[in-house]
Structure 1
Amino acid sequence: MPQLNPHPWFLILLLTWATTMLIFLTKTLNSKHLNHLMPSSLQMKTPPSWTWPWF
């Protein structure tokens, strides 16, 4: 049985890992900016009172 040269397989593994990490990094950085903070003037000062509907 012939021996496989590990050098090209290591390069393929390294490039695959780097590509996957780059994709995850861009997804992570893009998802951090989805939630925008509201200015304090638009936020409600006190929440409305709440009761159980059957009481």
Structure 2
Amino acid sequence: MPQLNPNPWFFIMLMSWLTFSLLIQPKLLSLTSTNTPTNKTTTTTKTTSWTWPWI
């Protein structure tokens, strides 16, 4: 059964994993920028009670 022979597929998986982790991933991480944290002021909203027309 050729599916059980890991010889060519293990090497392909290992090379693709190394390519992704060493070459592609640092390039992708340098392109994504994280949001800088900002201080937000808390605003309080004044709520009014509901006036029921049938009361």
TM-score normalised by length of structure 1: 0.38
When normalised by structure 2's length, the TM-score is 0.38
Flag the structure with larger Rg: 2
